[in-house]
A and B are shown apart, each in its own frame.
Chain A
C-alpha cells in the first residue's frame, strides 16, 4: 500500500482528498502546515507522495521538494495559467491538478505520477 501526505490548509478540502485517496487504497496522512509536514517526512521514509496546494506553499516548498527527491510532489491548485503550472514543474512537481477536480482526475494524475 502506498502512502500519501496531504498538505493543505483548507480542512474541508483536506478531508475530501483524504477520503478519495483512501478509497483508492492509499494510506493517508494529513498536515496543515509546512513545518509539521517536514517533520513527518523526516520521521517517515515510507511516504511516496505529497499532495499540496501551490497557492499557499509556493516559496518554501522548493526546498521541501529538493530535500526529498524520492517523494513525488503533486500540486493541487486554483491557478491554471501556463506560467503558474510551469513554475510548479520547474520546482520539481511530478504532476499538477487544476481545481475543480473529480475522483477520475485524481486517479488519472496519481497514475501519471507512477503511484497507481
Chain B
C-alpha cells in the first residue's frame, strides 16, 4: 500500500466514522482489507481504492465496518478481568447457588470480550452447581453473525490471548482458529441497539466499554438508564477508563478500579426511549466529557 493510498483510506475513515488511523497501523489496514478484496472480486488494493474514489458507497461501508467495528481484542485491559473475578468471588460467597449468575457484554463486536469472560469463568474452576450465563450484544448484524461462528484469524488470536488458552479453548481450522463448541454455546449473542431497553434483566455484571464515547451525551444517558433497569441491585458496571456516567447517583465508583461502578440505586423507568443513536465525529478514545481518574 502506498502512503497516498493509506492517507486516502485514513481520511475516509475519519470523515465517515470518526475513526483515527495512525501510520503504524498500515499493516492492520492491509490485513483487514484482504477479505474485502476477495468478497468483491477485486484483484488488488489499487482496484479497491479506485472503486472507493468512484464513490462506491456499499464498498465504503464495508471498509469502515472492517476497520472500525472490530477494534477489540481478547482480555483487553487485564485489570477489568481481575475486577470481574473478585466481584464474582464476593458474589458467590453471598448468593444462594440456586440462582444463575448473568454477565452481559454490551457492544461485543466480534466476540473477543464475551469469549474472554467465558474463558475466565472456566479458569475460575467454579463448583459444578454454579450456573453462569454470558450474554453478548452488538448493533451490527454482520458482526454478530461473525461472532456466533466463533472463528478468529491468526492475527486476532495473537492479541491478548495467552498461548495456553489458545491451545486449550480453540482448534485450528484451515487458516483460522475456532472456539471449541462447548465454550461457544455458553455465550448468547444477540443483535441489539442500546437505545432500546435490554432484552434480559437481572444482570450481575454489565460491561459496556468504549461504546459510550462514540455517543452524544443524551444517548449515553439513555444507554446507562437501560443498563440500570437491567442490573441487579449491587451489580457491577464496567465502562471504558476514559468514559463517564455523568455523575449518575445510582452508581458508586469502586475505588482504585478504573471504570468500575456498583449499582446502588433501584431500577427506574426510562423517560425517553426515542433518543437517536448518534455518532460523534471525533477521534476514538477521547471521552465526550473528561473523566477524573482516581488518584
Chain B residues 64-89 with CB under 8 Å of chain A are 73
Asked if B160 lies at the interface with its beta carbon under 8 angstroms from chain A, I say yes
- Residues 239-254 of B, flagged 1 when their CB comes within 8 A of A and 0 if not, give 0000000000000000
Residues of A within 8 A of B154 (CB): 80, 98, 100
Residues of A near B265 (CB, < 8 A) are none
Tally of A-B Cβ pairs under 8 angstroms: 42
Whether the pair B158, A82 counts as a contact (CB closer than 8 A) is no
A100 to B159, CA, bound (A): 13
Q: How far is the CB of B46 from chain A (nearest CB, A)?
A: 22
User: Whole-angstrom distance between the alpha carbons of A103 and B158 in the complex?
Assistant: 11
Known: A97-B158, A108-B73. A102 touches B163 (CB 8 A): no
Complex CA distance for A96 and B163, rounded to whole angstroms: 6
Q: Is A67 an interface residue (CB 8 A)?
A: no
- Encode contact with B along A92-106: 1 for CB under 8 Å, 0 otherwise: 010111101111110
A89 at interface by CB-CB < 8 Å: yes
A89 touches B167 (CB 8 A): yes
- Say yes or no: A103-B24 contact (C-beta < 8 A), given A81-B172, A85-B167, A98-B154: yes
Contact with A along B123-163 (1 / 0, CB 8 A): 00000000000000000000000000000001100111011
Residue from the set B158, B162, B167 with the largest chain A CB neighbour count within 10 Å: B158
Contact indicator A108/B167 (Cβ below 8 Å): no
Q: A80-B172, A81-B172, A103-B27 are in contact. Are A108 and B159 (CB under 8 A)?
A: yes
Which of A81, A89, A93, A109 is within 8 Å of B158, CB to CB?
Answer: A109
Q: Name which residue of chain A comes closest to B25, CB basis.
A: A104
Which residue of the partner chain B has the closest CB to A104? B159
**Cross-chain contact A82 with B159 (CB below 8 angstroms):** no
B162 touches A102 (CB 8 A): no
Contact call B163/A85, Cβ cutoff below 8 A: yes
CB pair A89–B73 under 8 Å, yes or no, is no
Q: Supply 6 A–B pairs (Cβ within 8 Å), ascending by A.
A: A82-B171, A102-B28, A102-B155, A104-B28, A105-B155, A112-B160
Ordered nearest first, which 3 A-B pairs have the shortest CB separation?
A105-B158, A96-B163, A102-B27
Chain B residues within 8 Å of A, Cβ to Cβ? 24, 27-28, 31, 73, 154-155, 158-160, 162-164, 166-167, 171-172
Q: A95-B162, A102-B31, A109-B158 are in contact. List 17 more A-B contacts (CB 8 A).
A: A80-B172, A82-B171, A82-B172, A89-B163, A93-B163, A97-B158, A100-B154, A102-B27, A102-B28, A102-B155, A103-B24, A103-B27, A105-B155, A108-B158, A108-B160, A112-B160, A112-B162
